[in-house]
Amino acid sequence: MTPTELLAYAQHLLRGLGDSTSGNASRLAAVVARQALEATVLERCDVVNAPCENATMRARLAILKSLDDRATADRLASLWHQLSACCHQHAYELSPTVGEVRSLCEDLAAVMSANQPAPSSRAKPNL
């Protein structure tokens, strides 16, 4: 699945749930949204000509901070950490609410739409 499809599925999981609802649905949506973010980061690494399929996510985010737009890379890193926190269940923390996960999904959608690669305007050379 593409990052856009993954994010759409995460948002689909949240539809119809109240903002204050928490539990498995919001956590599952956070996991799917994090997968969308991770796929987006891999795509961005390829765009900046730094393929890193075997690197950790922290390393990939560091690569993006060095080679890509710094503000976008910082936003992706922040979203990744927030979504990761939503994915993990701790005995001393409340589960993420639907509203929290929905807000993170909306932020991710904004970052993804702002960084869509522009269609190439150059003509293909004749061989």
Higher pLDDT, 125 or 98: 98
pLDDT at residue 119, rounded to an integer: 44
Q: How confident is the model at residue 65 (pLDDT cuts 50, 70, 90)?
A: very high
- 107 has pLDDT over 60: yes
Average pLDDT over residues 64-88: 93
Domain boundaries, the chain: 3-114
pLDDT at residue 17, rounded to an integer: 73
Strand, helix or coil for residue 37 = helix
pLDDT at residue 117, rounded to an integer: 57
What pairs with residue 22 in β-bridges? 97
pLDDT at residue 93, rounded to an integer: 81
Which residues does 26 contact at the CB level (< 8 Å), separation at least 6? 14, 17, 86, 95, 96, 97, 98, 100, 101
Average model confidence (pLDDT) across the chain: 86
Higher pLDDT, 117 or 92: 92
Higher pLDDT, 74 or 93: 74
CB 15 within 8 A of CB 25: no
pLDDT at residue 22, rounded to an integer: 61
CA distance 85 to 19: 18
The share of the chain scoring above pLDDT 90, in percent, equals: 63
> If you classify domain 3-114 with CATH, what class do you get?
mainly alpha
